[in-house]
Chains A and B, each alone.
Chain A
Amino acid sequence: MIRLSLLQFRVQVITAVTALAAFAVLLAATGPHLARLYGASGLTGCQPASCGDLANQFFQQLNAAGTYQVVYLLGIMLVALAPAVIGLFWGAPLVARELETGTSALAWSQSVTRTRWLAVKLTVGGLAAMAVTEGLSLLQAWWAAPISRAVGLGGSGTSLAMNQFSPLVFVTHGITPLGYAAFAFTLGVTAGALIQRTVPAMAVTLVLFAAVQIAMPLWIRPNLFPAEHTTVAIGRDITFSNNTQGNFTLATGTLAGQPGAWILSSGAVDAAGHPVSTAPAACTQAVVSGTGPSGLACLASHGIRIAVTYQPASRYWAFQWTETGICLAAALALAGYCFRRVSRRLS
């Protein structure tokens, strides 16, 4: 049964290997130069005080070169989309096409039980899906290692400097690609077994998987662990907006001393810790007149601080394991449902 499964899976395997190879060639062509730029940037062994500036210089260099940004985003998109593509083109047709073309009757009348038939197909397809996605992810991570290190050293202010928790980066690095690949694949198989037609099953898979990919970073991931709260003085990397009535908002994208932390929300609070949006009377003039340093300085001198709700960077792997665990558990549950459906109900 394993051999039949591989035989039927030939085309997909060839496609996946071709895609992996093309991606590897693209990265191999640009990776070494990126590493050389990093080596020349002085970031290796930098003094903590100067690391941030050096990292920013490094990013400016990359932005100027142009291609790195493109390759970086392309790579991330490819890894992020791989599970969806696999769910659509490997998962959905796996059972649906057999039912649609009637070949299920051929397969199920061999001397192999239906449970074994499905088990082998799910295992071969699922493992291949996980291997391909993780392979893409590792290639991308290898290529982007200098960028990640520069981000870790405090580089910011460019589309390259994405936080490790930012939605696209989180699902494309670490072990989450394994979880999402397995989940998307079994989602596709289940949709196919339920709908019994390939194209509608693909559409449903796409919609459901996209919904999960949106819901996860917005509502689920931030709540996997209770968030930490802190207040910090107004410092670097502040988003400051104001209006002519002297109202203002403050937000920060980074937390001093906690590079890589995930900022869930941030806002201005007064010395007592209560949220504020109206400038103290003494600062109204400075705040209304502009967003420049004088306004911020005045607010800071009147005890305005920034309250930050965040997930510490140290929890990164806890998040990775938890989310991957959720995906794998969902994949197993879907697979279990497929077994029930295929062994008992299907025509």
Chain B
Amino acid sequence: MSAVIQASELGKQYRRAWALRDCTLTIPEGHVVGLVGPNGAGKTTLLRLAAGMLAPTRGTITVLGERPAAGPAQLAQVGFVAQDTPVYAQLTVADHLRLGSWLNPGWDGELARQRIGQLGLDPKQRAGSLSGGQRAQLALTLALGKRPELLILDEPVASLDPLARREFLQGLMEAVAEHGVNIVLSSHLVADLERVCDYLVVLVGSQVRLAGEVGALLASHHRLSGPRRDPGSLPASQQVITESHTDKQSNLLVRTDEPVLDPSWTVRPVSLEDLVLGYLSRARNDAPARRPRLGVVS
């Protein structure tokens, strides 16, 4: 079984509103996975369910083959950095490392101390007086220090300035390179994900709209422009994701595993941002956004 997260018809209801509904997805092992979607898509709820912070109302979720937060052993395998990277304001940086060592049998004190040293954090400083970027780094250090197999990060860089954001993501990438940890990271900024992720999941209205390795996704999507024509006349192997037309011209985003041979098209590659925006706007257009489960490749 090579799935780090497997959800099936997963749902979470808060009082009356469903924060996540009928979500089915599989996140394979060995990737840095970017989870992207508009606000309210259920990203945070999904990640909190995966980290065991929440219990599902419906459906099932397994993380590394077990129910999240099933016990100390399962908890030890999963690191979680919550939105806004909370830390104990009253405790010092050193206190945080101590609590990490007390509460995690697999604690890697050397790694934690090294990271704190590299970041130039004063161990005696209270976490409450750290800058947003430093706080995020401390939370990441704590999550890495337990040496998890899977690290879940919920919008870790959302509140950081561009420089702190880059440093944070760099630190994350170094950890991946060094320890080979699986990562699931949510963001609404595609640019951040582009830098670090090799696997992308687009979530809209609790539904997976697109999932796959970034390289494969980019290779199988093309931007076509040419004289105006009806998209219905395209070969069956080309699936239209978005279309826009002027009087004379048509612009299409298509998905196909075969080369586009029609000489009337100008074919251009897509960027990750184009791709994500394409799927987001498509999800908005087919409004009762809850039926088709499209575009899953792996």
Binding site for B on A (CB under 8 A): 1, 3-4, 7-8, 11, 101-106, 108-114, 344-345, 347
Contacts and interface: CB of A to CB of B under 8 A. Distances in A.
Contact of B75 (A3, A109, A344): A109
B143 interface: yes
A113 B86 contact: no
A77 B95 CA distance: 37
Interface string B72-103: 11011011101110111111000100111011
Contacts of B142: 106
Interface stretch (B52-60, B156-164, B180-188, B240-248): B52-60
A121 to B, nearest CB: 13
Interface string B89-119: 1110001001110111110000000000000
B103 A110 contact: yes
A106 B80 CA distance: 8
Nearest to A345: B55
Given A102-B86, A347-B53, A109 B80 contact: yes
Nearest to B99: A4
Given A4-B102, A7-B99, A11-B90, A111 B143 contact: no
Given A7-B95, A7-B99, A108 B52 contact: yes
B53 A108 contact: yes
By secondary structure, the A interface counts as helix
Given A101-B86, A102-B82, A102-B86, A110 B53 contact: no
B103 A111 contact: yes
Given A105-B53, A106-B82, A106-B86, 14 more contacts: A7-B95, A101-B86, A105-B48, A105-B86, A109-B78, A109-B82, A110-B75, A110-B146, A111-B73, A111-B106, A113-B75, A114-B69, A344-B55, A347-B48
Contact of B88 (A3, A106, A109, A111): A106
A111 B52 contact: no
Given A4-B102, A102-B84, A102-B86, A108 B69 contact: yes
Nearest to B142: A106
Contacts of A347: 14, 48, 53-54
Contacts of B146: 110-111
A111 B143 CA distance: 11
B99 A111 contact: no
| Chain A to chain B: the 5 pairs with minimum beta-carbon distance, closest first | A102-B86, A105-B82, A110-B103, A109-B80, A111-B76
B130 to A, nearest CB: 14
12 contacts: A1-B103, A8-B91, A103-B86, A103-B87, A104-B53, A105-B80, A105-B82, A106-B86, A109-B75, A109-B78, A345-B55, A347-B14
B20 interface: no
Contacts of A345: 55
B87 A106 contact: yes
A110 B88 contact: no
A347 B44 CA distance: 11
Contact of A111 (B53, B54, B95, B105): B105
A106 B48 contact: no
Contacts of B84: 102
Contacts of A102: 82-84, 86
A105 B99 CA distance: 14
Contacts of A11: 90
Given A102-B84, A105-B53, A105-B80, A110 B90 contact: no
B51 interface: yes
B159 to A, nearest CB: 12
A3 B54 CA distance: 26
A11 B88 CA distance: 14
B75 A1 contact: no
Contacts of B102: 1, 3-4
B139 interface: yes
Contacts of A1: 102-103
A223 to B, nearest CB: 40
B120 interface: no
A103 B75 contact: no
B278 to A, nearest CB: 33
Interface in B102-150: 102-106, 139, 142-143, 146
Given A11-B90, A101-B89, A114-B69, A109 B79 contact: yes
Contact of A112 (B80, B95, B103, B139): B103
B214 to A, nearest CB: 27
A193 B79 CA distance: 24
A4 to B, nearest CB: 5
Contacts of A105: 48, 51, 53, 80, 82, 86
B143 A113 contact: no
Nearest to A111: B76
A268 B87 CA distance: 68
B7 to A, nearest CB: 18
Given A3-B102, A4-B102, A105-B82, A112 B88 contact: no
A13 to B, nearest CB: 14
